[in-house]
Chains A and B, each alone.
Chain A
Amino acid sequence: MYRYAHRLCGEDEAAKDLVQETFLNAYRGLRQFRGDAKISTWLYTIASRACLRMRRKRKGAPERELSLEEFVPSSEGEFRLQIPIDGLTPQQALENKELREALEQAINKLPKKYRMALVLRDMEGLSAGEAGGIMGLSERTLKTRLHRARLFVRRELSALGMAHTDRHVHEGWRPKETGS
């Protein structure tokens, strides 16, 4: 639960608060749990709702809709931007502090409803149906949000790749040749 909370909140203290809130709400609602869903799904749902409430209180980043149009590359160079993980496995690439932080920042910059879709599906590994159920969305809507969230993160990370192409290489981490 802490792992999920940290992925949603992006920071230690907020994640601990969310875990506490989740378990208190779970204890309070235990009698209503009928066992129709897996207990993990039930806890994810409680945590997700608590997260939305906490973020509203904290007045986090303003919410906005992500449109597909904003992700259409407007130049050949933008099309060919790549994530700088050439020759490395994702695990090895994430050992690079700069890339890891860029990924975390990109996820934290996502409006929360998009971030939650990405975290549940791509980070927690739930199915689109399960993630949609937790967020109270149809599978189709969940997939739309997930797709835009991925495009957003891809754009943020490939901008990092571009910075590296300009600056040249980082030790043990060479950006791919874009060929453009």
Chain B
Amino acid sequence: MTRKKAHEHGEQRCLNILRQLSAYIDDELPEDICAELRRHLGACPNCEVFIASLRDTVKLCRQHEPPPLSAHDRARLRQEILRAWKPEARA
């Protein structure tokens, strides 16, 4: 089975683009590189979809909250820390 060419540009170009995507979405790239990347993204639907999914990933990470510690567990943890600390403090 022949493998379809994945993308319009070569793998090295993909790697160069891929390397810069986080800096791009974090607005950390110099304006000229940013403009070049924007031009590429406008012309390359695959890369545009890819970067959108990377943005979604970052948004999900930013919004994710672990389950809160209950008041009971918080009090217990505090007691455990103090209990463990007291013998050391006395020594």
- Contact between A123 and B61 (Cβ–Cβ < 8 Å)? yes
Residues 147-180 of chain A: 1 if any B CB is under 8 Å from the residue's CB, otherwise 0? 1001101100110000000000000000000110
Q: A24-B84, A82-B52 are in contact. Are A150 and B18 (CB under 8 A)?
A: no
- Number of A interface residues at 8 Å Cβ cutoff, please give it: 52
- Number of B interface residues at 8 Å Cβ cutoff, please give it: 43
Q: A79-B46, A90-B60 are in contact. Are A7 and B66 (CB under 8 A)?
A: yes
Residue in B4, B47, B53, B74 whose CB lies within 8 Å of A81: B53
- Bound CA span A47–B53, Å: 31
| A-B pairs under 8 A by CB, number | 127
- Contact between A103 and B6 (Cβ–Cβ < 8 Å)? no
Q: What does DSSP make chain A's interface, helix, strand, loop or mixed?
A: helix
Q: Which residues of B34-90 have CB atoms within 8 Å of chain A's CB atoms?
A: 45-47, 49-50, 52-54, 56-67, 69, 73-74, 77, 80-81, 84-85, 88-89
B15 within 8 A of A: yes
Q: What does DSSP make chain B's interface, helix, strand, loop or mixed?
A: helix
Residues of B with C-beta under 8 A to A178: 49
- Contact between B11 and A72 (Cβ–Cβ < 8 Å)? yes
- Contact between B67 and A6 (Cβ–Cβ < 8 Å)? yes
- Contact between A3 and B47 (Cβ–Cβ < 8 Å)? no
Q: Which of A12-20, A34-42, A55-63, A130-138 contacts B (4 or more CB under 8 A)?
A: A12-20
- Contact between A76 and B73 (Cβ–Cβ < 8 Å)? no
Chain B residues proximal to chain A, CB less than 8 Å: 3-4, 6-7, 11, 14-15, 18-19, 21-23, 28, 45-47, 49-50, 52-54, 56-67, 69, 73-74, 77, 80-81, 84-85, 88-89
The 9 A-B pairs with the shortest beta carbon distances in the complex, nearest first, are A147-B22, A6-B66, A90-B63, A79-B46, A83-B56, A122-B61, A154-B57, A90-B59, A80-B49
